[in-house]
Structure 1
Amino acid sequence: MRIAVLGAGRIGSFRARVLGGLPEVDEIFIGNRTGGRAEELAREVGGTAGTIDEAIDSEPDAVFVSLATGLHAEALHRCIDAGLPIFCEKPIALTLRDTAAVIEHAERGGNVLQIAFQRRLDPDYLRAYQAVRDGTLGTLYSLRITAHDAEPAPEEFIELSGGTYRDLHIHDFDLARWLTGLDVDQVYATGSVRGFDRYAKFGDVDNAAILMTMSDGLPVIVTGTRHNARGHDFRLEVFGSEDSLSVGDNSLSQPRPVEPDEVPPTRGPYRDFMERFGDSLREETKAFIGVMKGERENPSPPAAAMEALRVAVACEVSRTEGRPVKVAEIEGDPPDLT
């Protein structure tokens, strides 16, 4: 089969390399806004390079949309009109209105649309999911999610990212919903700039904390930072009446224990999300081939992306107005909150 990859940046390059190693994939077409990087990547994976439009028009069997987030919606509509199965990096778009328009268009067209929430395909998170869902942990008491980036993003990324809640924490909002099978009922979010003023320039934060209450009253605490001196530290803790578990507590990127007899972790430190979640990124890339062939269910349907984005918007309203916000309040995009 022929696969088009839109975007020749870091994540698009990763997708193309994984696809190039799959026996089902015969040809890869790299579409990018600038030709030089597309040509370089095409040479590396033995593919063809061209513009984004040329990639979509090359009659591929499916397409990966790995462009900058601000370019997603336009490209997605083009791909839907072309009748293509689509894998899209998160989020679908930066606004609820644009996201809804894409989803409605894909539903009308009958297009497969899988969203990149890679933790759903991570073997460790899958083990936690199974323990939650089969009752091994008993009644859930609370969840704690840690999302600490290793290095702050450059200014040009911050400007177009949609902000910390829509870019960084959207994964955590999806994780909480997927893991528990519950909706987020209410959020109380705070955030500040503690070290990197370039975030403040765009009304963003480099540190955040969120208290989410799920639909059955379960509390979920999320902490996030755009810089962690010890590396890319992403963890999950689940506390229940019968047992508790953690994911990610074997990494040198986590906080340093002060106990002298503590056994040191064996993995990491991770420099970025590609190192931390490389295996699950590969798995979701391969899973999409099975989804488009009708061999498996879509592990990350677009409705999940819509609900995670709604929670992110609720967090922005909460931080700005300094109050708890019911997610049900968020029916559309609020006015400029800055």
Structure 2
Amino acid sequence: MTSAAPVTLGLAGTGRIGTSHAETLTHLPGVGGVIVADADAERARATAGKLGVQAVPDLDALFAADLNGLIIATATDSHPALITRAVDRGIPVFCEKPVAADIQGTLAVIDHIKNSTVPVQIGFQRRFDAGYRAARAAITSGDLGWLHTLRATTLDPAPPPAEYIPRSGGLFRDCGVHDFDIIRWVTGREVTEVYATGANRGEQFFADAGDVDTAAIVLRLDDGTLATVSLARYNGAGYDVRLEALGSEGNAVVGLDDRAPLTSVEPDCTPSPFPAYPGFMERFRRAYTDELAAFVSVVNGESDNPCTVTDALEAFYIAEACELSRHDGRAVQITEVRR
């Protein structure tokens, strides 16, 4: 059996995540060429020069190239147009979350591509992390018995720039959506109800944007399992992302390693000598690589799409319900936001 020919991939957006993806692609088996473009043509040229890949002056030139697949790492408001343009040209897509800035925009993309066989993979990299995969296996195998509680945590060491917050979609859509997706994925269950609350203890720009810098969420799954999600923009100890799956027969904990930014005050506990992860890029570096390797496999028709647009929509529904719950101060059924 012969292996697939190397693919040529286009990459739109050479900011932090786009540049990281481009660098990963240069070392990825099965990738024969990388072509980058950005609204800032000089930034694209600089990235290309540093990595030894090709740059083109704009997105029109990128689409004019002979691409086997497209990776979208641009600003959120450009995602829908780029996804639909690529699908209409028969080009498989990998797009960083979210699909669109809101549910209406996401549904419009789904409607546009619903009759197409061109795959669109959405970037929820935690699905490719070894710890989350092990937790999923432990849950689905029945080794944990029946689940009674999940506890998810995403705590950033420092907030993003003030100018990012008004266009971020808010803490639930920007940050918590990763926890919502991974809870669905590891359990194979759907969320039916949420209760969310938030607080602002940090910079005023969060409140000015109608957002919060800290949140606590309770989710009810369709089998009665309860899940809690803790989110924060200020966690000076370091980047802290964990998931605890607690069952009647055992438990599985993701993210509890030597770099977890946890300080025990028990007298007999020895502190870890290893530094905490400074951010998500370092914590999930291998997962990002495996995610792009999966996309190459999807492009070659060797694997099914591991994270569809519909998956992204379901996580977005949960985030939307959280925002409504915070605003109204009540529990919200997912059916209230589903369209």
Which band: TM-score by shorter chain?
over 0.9
Is 1:85 the counterpart of 2:92 in the alignment?
yes
User: For structure 1, which segment, 205-214 or 93-102, has the greater mean C-alpha deviation from structure 2 after superposition?
Assistant: 93-102
User: For structure 1, which segment, 255-264 or 110-119, has the greater mean C-alpha deviation from structure 2 after superposition?
Assistant: 255-264
Q: Which residue of 288, 291, 304 maps to 1:284? A: 291
Is 1:58 the counterpart of 2:65 in the alignment?
yes
The amino acid across from 2:123 in the alignment is A
Could you tell me which residue of structure 1 aligns to residue 324 of structure 2? 317
SS for the counterpart of 1:309 is helix
The amino acid across from 2:240 in the alignment is D
SS for the counterpart of 1:294 is coil
Distance change in 2, residues 1:203/1:96 (3 Å) = same
Could you tell me which residue of structure 2 aligns to residue 185 of structure 1? 192
SS for the counterpart of 2:114 is helix
The amino acid across from 1:24 in the alignment is G
For residues 135 and 141 of structure 2, the distance between their equivalents in structure 1, rounded to whole angstroms, comes to 10
For residues 152 and 207 of structure 2, the distance between their equivalents in structure 1, rounded to whole angstroms, comes to 24
Is 1:214 the counterpart of 2:221 in the alignment?
yes
Is 1:205 the counterpart of 2:212 in the alignment?
yes
For residues 71 and 236 of structure 1, the distance between their equivalents in structure 2, rounded to whole angstroms, comes to 32
Q: Which residue of 26, 34, 51 maps to 1:20? A: 26
Aligned-residue Cα RMSD (Å) equals 1.3
Tell me, yes or no, if the aligned pair for 2:72 and 2:79 is still in contact at 8 Å: yes
* Count of aligned pairs: 332
Distance change in 2, residues 1:319/1:20 (3 Å) = same
- Structure 2: 5+ residue runs without aligned partners? 1-6
Is 1:169 the counterpart of 2:160 in the alignment?
no
Is 1:29 the counterpart of 2:13 in the alignment?
no
Tell me, yes or no, if the aligned pair for 2:31 and 2:296 is still in contact at 8 Å: no
Matching of residues 94-105 of structure 1 within 5 Å: 94-105=101-112
Is 1:293 the counterpart of 2:300 in the alignment?
yes
The amino acid across from 1:278 in the alignment is R
The amino acid across from 1:55 in the alignment is L
Is 1:305 the counterpart of 2:312 in the alignment?
yes
Cα displacement (A) at 1:22:
2.0
SS for the counterpart of 1:279 is helix
SS for the counterpart of 1:169 is helix
Is 1:70 the counterpart of 2:77 in the alignment?
yes
User: For structure 1, which segment, 196-205 or 102-111, has the greater mean C-alpha deviation from structure 2 after superposition?
Assistant: 102-111
For residues 275 and 247 of structure 2, the distance between their equivalents in structure 1, rounded to whole angstroms, comes to 28
Tell me, yes or no, if the aligned pair for 2:8 and 2:32 is still in contact at 8 Å: yes
Cα displacement (A) at 1:253:
4.2
Could you tell me which residue of structure 2 aligns to residue 143 of structure 1? 150
Is 1:232 the counterpart of 2:200 in the alignment?
no
The amino acid across from 1:156 in the alignment is E
The amino acid across from 1:120 in the alignment is R
String of CA shifts for 1:198-251, please: whole Å, max 9, x gaps: 111111110001000001111000000011101110011111111012111124
For residues 23 and 288 of structure 1, the distance between their equivalents in structure 2, rounded to whole angstroms, comes to 12
Runs of 4+ in 1 over 6 A off after TM superposition: none
SS for the counterpart of 1:2 is strand
When the two structures are superposed, what TM-score results if normalisation uses the length of structure 1?
A: 0.95
Distance change in 2, residues 1:320/1:3 (3 Å) = same
For residues 72 and 110 of structure 2, the distance between their equivalents in structure 1, rounded to whole angstroms, comes to 15
The amino acid across from 1:2 in the alignment is T
String of CA shifts for 1:150-175, please: whole Å, max 9, x gaps: 11010221121111110100001001
For residues 280 and 115 of structure 2, the distance between their equivalents in structure 1, rounded to whole angstroms, comes to 34
